[in-house]
């Protein structure tokens, strides 16, 4: 197996390459079009066929060409937001690559149609745990759904499950379910109502002081 983390130091964004090297098949999680030469070179170097492009979430309104450019990777593009050219997948769907499987979790909240992807003991959850730390979105799109996704879908996984973020600015890039359940600044020792009230105050502050992207 091959597992690679690609980190953009300027933006803090993270992408992931998973590959079954015996079967020569790979998956990319949260790739960015600016990295296409590097991504294609990585695949070519190992002789890997790309089976899936998986997007936990997207901010394509900030980068209008992003979706079409990612199409150049030549693999089905899976994302939660419905769009022509994107593959719609059901909750719990199993996406094969080689002898491996990636399982799809519906985890809305950071954006309205966020997905998380489970592979072995790892979950790629994008901006789900960022809350106020996403460089493109200072507050969650759907706070109530975010609470339910995190506490009901992520925090119920085994303690040792590894959580991989979509960016690392003001947040951990890799953590465990146990760590986040105990110490996350927005979710640990918090009630649903308390969480929603805190996010509402963030939203009010953001509208008073416009966020600069």
Parse the chain into domains and list their residue ranges.
2-208
**pLDDT value of position 7:** 87
For the segment 191-207, what is each residue's pLDDT rounded down to a tens digit? 999 999 999 998 777 65
Distance CA 121, CA 119 (A): 6
Distances, alpha carbon 126 to alpha carbons 16, 62, 107, 210, in Å: 11, 17, 10, 24
Q: Which two tokens stand for residue 143?
A: 């706070």
102, 95 Cβ separation under 8 angstroms: yes
Query: How much of the chain, in percent, has pLDDT values that exceed 90?
Result: 79
- Does the pLDDT at position 211 exceed 60? no
For the segment 38-59, what is each residue's pLDDT rounded down to a tens digit? 999 999 999 999 999 999 998 8
Topology of the domain covering 2-208 = Metallo-beta-lactamase; Chain A (3.60.15)
Stated as kind and residue range, the H or E segment containing 5 is strand 2-7
Question: Considering the entire predicted model, what is its pTM?
Answer: 0.92
| Overall size of the chain counted in residues | 213
Q: Which two tokens stand for residue 129?
A: 């745990």
Distances, alpha carbon 101 to alpha carbons 25, 59, 89, 200, in Å: 11, 26, 14, 38
For the segment 131-169, what is each residue's pLDDT rounded down to a tens digit? 987 778 888 999 999 999 999 999 999 999 999 998 876
């Amino acid at each position: 197996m091959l597992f690679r983390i690609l980190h953009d130091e300027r933006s803090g964004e993270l992408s992931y390459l998973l590959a079954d090297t015996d079967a020569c098949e790979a998956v990319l999680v949260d790739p960015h079009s600016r990295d296409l030469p590097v991504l294609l070179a990585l695949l070519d170097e190992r002789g890997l066929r790309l089976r899936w492009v998986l997007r936990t979430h997207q901010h394509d309104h900030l980068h209008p060409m992003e979706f079409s450019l990612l199409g150049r990777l030549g693999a089905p593009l899976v994302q939660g937001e419905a769009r022509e050219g994107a593959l719609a997948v059901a909750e719990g769907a199993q996406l094969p690559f080689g002898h491996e499987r990636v399982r799809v979790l519906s985890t809305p909240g950071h954006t309205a149609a966020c997905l998380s992807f489970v592979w072995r003991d790892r979950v790629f959850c994008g901006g789900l745990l960022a809350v106020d730390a996403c460089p493109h979105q200072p507050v969650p799109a759907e706070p109530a759904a975010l609470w339910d996704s995190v506490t009901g879908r992520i925090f119920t996984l085994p303690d040792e499950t590894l959580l991989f973020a979509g960016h690392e600015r003001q947040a951990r890039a890799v953590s465990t379910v146990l760590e986040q359940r105990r110490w996350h600044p927005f979710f640990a020792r918090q009630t649903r109502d308390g969480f929603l009230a805190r996010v509402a105050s963030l939203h009010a502050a953001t509208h008073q002081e416009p966020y600069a992207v």
